[in-house]
Structure formats: structure tokens, C-alpha cells
Chains A and B, each alone.
Chain A
Amino acid sequence: MNSQVFANALRLGRLGLLWYAIGIMLPIFSGRLGQSAMQDQGAALGKIMEGLPPAVLAMFKINLASFSSPIGYMCARGLSLLWPIVVIAFAAGSAGGISSMIERGTIHFELSLPVSRTRWYQSRILAGLLGLVVLMLVTFAVLSVSVRAEWWRFMMLGLAFGILWLGIGYAVAAFARDRALVTGVVFGLFGLEFLLATLASTISGAGWLGNLSIWTNYAPESAMNDGVPWGTVALWVTIGVLGFAVALWRWRTRDIPA
């Protein structure tokens, strides 16, 4: 790691990080604001929800019981769908910054510095991880002022989820020549995961597909109620770290013509 490259990456990404932090706060605040009204009309809402096909409820992780508690509502509304999308966008944006440097031609002054490619990329990855930690702390702070609960359980799941997507993002960025490819691949994978989870919940006999989907295993409400799924957390962190390793290998060996 090179501290100056690390610091410069943070300096360049600070404004973007601010917007991601705002983006991650808003779904939680809006969930908290809407929860009391929804709770008052829980019975009426429950009847409407009961009429929906179970597959739709599964696809959007809607648990009817969720609407009766602030934690459940917030998990169902903010943390199950909007929060992970913001985190995936952050991962794609953070990793895509490197591809953008190649695309725009600003990378060569970086490559002409007396820093090994491995150390340079490590510094960028660590800046991305620090950004993720900042987002987690913002999430924790906002959740804690909204509702008292053991939010650290969600933090564990969310952090592992973020590391997983950062690993994927940085691995793709080490191969890509432009930001659009990184964003496309990361969100394409996200869509594929969503599709697998949907197929698993809508087609009889296809439940096994759900095991292949990150989306199936990303269940914040379950983590809050039943405890942290440490196996899933360990698997995601491992995949994320493998992604970083692939990224470092590729970055060290690839040609980047002037």
C-alpha cells in the first residue's frame, strides 16, 4: 500500500462518497417516516398483500409480518432492496474509477510513478474498502437514531455484502478499459442474481437455483431476528477477497498502452 496514492484516491472520491452516503440515508429515513402510518393501517395493508402471488412477495422480500414492527418494516422497505442497490452502485463506481482513468488516459501518469502496480492497486482497493466502512457507519448511525435494535447484526451481513461486490467490481475493473463495462457487468450480475432468486421462488422444482443467488441469502430481517448467518458472511468475504486477488494479478500483468 502507498499512503499517498491511498490519500489521493480518497481525495478524488470524497464528493462521490458524500452522495452515496446521502443515498444510503434516504431509504432508511423514508422507511422510518412511513412506518408509523403503515403500522396504523397494517390490517388493511395485510389484506391487500395477502392477495398478491407468493412469488411476488418472495421476489421483493415482502414479509407480511414485517409491517407490524419498525425493524421489520425498515428491513423490508429500505434494507432489503434500496440499501443493497446503493452499495452495489458504490462498488461499481469505486472500481469503475480505475477503468475511467484508463478510458480517459489519466492512468499513465499514475503508472509512471515509482510505485509498483500491485501497491498502487492495493491502495485503490483499500480506499474503496474505507469508503464502504464509511457507508456502513453512516447506515449504523442513521438506523440507531431511528430505532433501537441490535443493528450490528445487519452491519455484519451488510459489510460482507459490500466486500463481495467490491471484490467483484475491482476484479472486473482490472480487465476493463472503460467505466461503462464495469457498471454494466456489476449490475448485470446483480440482475442475474435477482433473476435466479425469482426463478427459484416462482418455478416449482427450481428452488435449488436460489442457492446460487446472492440475493436469496441477503436477508437482513432474518439476520436481525435469527442471528447473523456467519457461513454466508464468511463465504461472501472469501469471494470478495478472491476478487481482490484476481484484480491484483490481472493489474500486475496487463498491458496499458499509452
Chain B
Amino acid sequence: MTQAIVLQNISKRYGTTKALDGLELAVEVGELFGLVGVNGAGKTTTLSIIMGFIHASSGSASVLGLDPWTDAPKLHSSIAWLPGDVRLPDAQSGLEWLTYQAGVAKLDHALIPALANEWEVPLNRPMRTLSKGNRQKVALLRLLIAKDAKLLVLDEPTSGLDPVAQERLLLALRERAAAGATVFFSSHSLTEVQTLCDRVAVIDRGQVLKLGTLNALTGDTHTLTVWTQKPVNTSSLEPWKPRLISNTHAILSGDRLLEDALPKLMAFGIERAEFGGMNLEHLLEQNHTREVTR
């Protein structure tokens, strides 16, 4: 098996709402894979299908060679999951809950105290008394004690963590990937996707818009950000795919030479102009803008 996740033409409807619309995705074993998209793009629905929480309306899904819906119990012994918005039983202590989870999943209980110490998590208090960050860390320990998991599925996992913990989590994920695990990671934090992932899929409206390595996605494309005195008229700037942040603030990008746009921009009175590389923020915004204005 060379592919950890294969999603083929997956669609998912909630009533009349189409959450996924023919989504196609393949993740290689041992890969650090990032899934990015704006709110409502379909990231969490994709993760829910991978985890077997929901079944696809149409299409086929294979995770570690198994059907995530019908083979969920078998699959779950090889998957560790970490949601972004962690909800844990209020009345239980972190230790009680982790011991229970480890018991059912047949994980190594002995790792819990050492990891709790390392991550500075108070495990003996009821979880209702813990801060959001500490709850997130309890859930993170659940992920880390599954040390033999072949697939780690994380849904915006760093929300609520302090910067030091975020960095440590990313390091831990890299180590797990280096040991052969596949990491499937959705995030709003594009910086961490950029620093962590081998490949990225950009999704919007339930479809993969772009998929590839970061270099392939951003390529040699550059941007020109301008602030002008007068409102920018975008019609004369179409070759440079203009995107208006405000009437007097625009970002141009594309394959055409950006310098060629400067004479046209002069008409609006350039106050400031910055050349830069394309990053994922631009990529997402560009795609989303195109969808909205379609």
C-alpha cells in the first residue's frame, strides 16, 4: 500500500447543502499533507469522512486500505485523531479520561505520566476546571500515546495552544512522519502548513482547487501590492488578476510581468508598492475571490 488516503469523486450533502462536490484526493504513506481552505470549504466534512463519523453521499473513500465507514473499528486502531475545537467530559479528570481511552484503544498507559510532565498538563483536575489550552493538551496527549498509529488526522490542531506548544506539536508531527506515519492536517494557520507539509490541497466549495507541493502551487508567481491615492479601476488591470483589498489597496499577481502594470497604476497615484512572492494566503484569497465573483 503506497497511498494512505484515497478519496475519489466524494460528494456529501446535508439536506440541500452540498458540503463536498466531487472531491478527489490521494495522500501517500509517510506524507505530511495539509488541507487548507476558507470557512465552509469542506475541510471538516472531509476529515469526518476519513474518520468514519459520516458517510459520503457518493464516491469512494479508502483509508489505510479500508473503507472508513464500514471498517471504522478496525481502522480506528491505526488512527489517532485531534480536533481543533476540543470537547472533553467535564466531570472526568484528564487522567481518568486518558486511562479510559488508552484502555479501550489498547494503548500504552505508562506513557501518560511522562507525557503529562513533558507537556505540563494538570491531569488530576476535573476537565471543566482546565483552560482551553490545557484541554487541548489533554487531547494532544491522547494523540501522542497512540505511538503506533499509522495515520494522524488533525483538524486545526494548534488552536488554543501557546506558541511554544504549537512549535513542539509541529516538531512531534515531523518526528512521527519521519518514523513512517502519515500526517493529514487541516489548518487555518497557513504558516504552519507552509512550514510543516510536504504537499497541500487547497479546497473550496467542496472541491480541490489546487494540489501539489508548495513550490508547485506558488511557483514563480509573484505579487505586487499597491496602495493608491485614488480608487483603483480594475478593468485596465485584468491581465494581472487584480484583487481589491479596499478601493485604494490592491494586489496584483500572475505570470505577466508585474512591472508592466506600473504605468497603468500611475493613473491612480501610487503611494506605495511592494513586490513579493506568492504565498498560501494569496493563493487562498485569489481562489476564494474568483469563486465569489464567478
Contact = CB atoms under 8 A, between A and B. Distances in A.
A112 B76 contact: yes
A114 B89 contact: no
B85 A105 contact: yes
Contact of B72 (A2, A105, A116): A116
Contacts of A11: 92, 96
A112 B85 contact: no
Nearest to B142: A109
Contact of A12 (B47, B92, B142, B155): B92
B53 A258 contact: yes
B76 A113 contact: yes
B73 A112 contact: no
A117 B55 CA distance: 14
A2 B106 CA distance: 13
Contacts of A117: 72
B47 A114 contact: no
Contact of A258 (B51, B104, B142): B51
Given A106-B89, A108-B53, A115-B73, A258 B47 contact: yes
A5 interface: yes
Contacts of B74: 114
A257 B45 contact: yes
Contacts of B75: 114
A4 interface: yes
Contacts of A115: 73, 76, 104
A116 B83 CA distance: 20
Interface residues of B, number: 35
A4 B88 contact: no
A3 to B, nearest CB: 9
A111 interface: yes
B79 interface: yes
A117 B51 CA distance: 13
A114 B77 contact: yes
A5 B87 CA distance: 18
Given A8-B100, A108-B81, A112-B81, A255 B76 contact: no
A257 B44 contact: yes
A252 to B, nearest CB: 10
A106 B83 contact: no
Interface in B43-75: 44-45, 47-48, 51-55, 72-75
Contact of B87 (A12, A15, A105, A257): A105
B104 A4 contact: yes
Nearest to B106: A114
Contacts of B266: none
A15 B91 CA distance: 10
B105 interface: yes
B101 interface: yes
B102 to A, nearest CB: 10
A111 B83 CA distance: 13
B53 A256 contact: yes
Nearest to B146: A112
A114 B76 contact: yes
The CB with the most chain A CB atoms within 10 A, among B52, B73, B106, is that of B73
B103 interface: yes
Interface string A72-104: 000000000000000000000000000000001
A253 to B, nearest CB: 8
A8 B100 CA distance: 7
A113 to B, nearest CB: 5
Nearest to A15: B91
Contacts of B100: 4, 8
Contacts of B73: 114-116
A8 B91 CA distance: 12
A114 B77 CA distance: 5
A111 B89 contact: no
A160 B93 CA distance: 36
B88 A109 contact: yes
25 contacts: A2-B104, A4-B100, A5-B104, A8-B100, A11-B92, A12-B89, A12-B91, A104-B87, A105-B85, A105-B87, A108-B53, A108-B81, A109-B101, A109-B142, A112-B76, A114-B77, A114-B106, A115-B76, A117-B72, A255-B48, A255-B53, A255-B54, A257-B53, A258-B51, A258-B83
Interface of B: 14, 44-45, 47-48, 51-55, 72-77, 79, 81, 83, 85, 87-89, 91-92, 96, 100-101, 103-106, 139, 142, 155
Q: Which 4 A-B pairs have the closest CB atoms?
A: A105-B87, A255-B54, A114-B77, A114-B76
Interface of A: 2, 4-5, 8, 11-12, 15, 104-106, 108-109, 111-117, 255-258
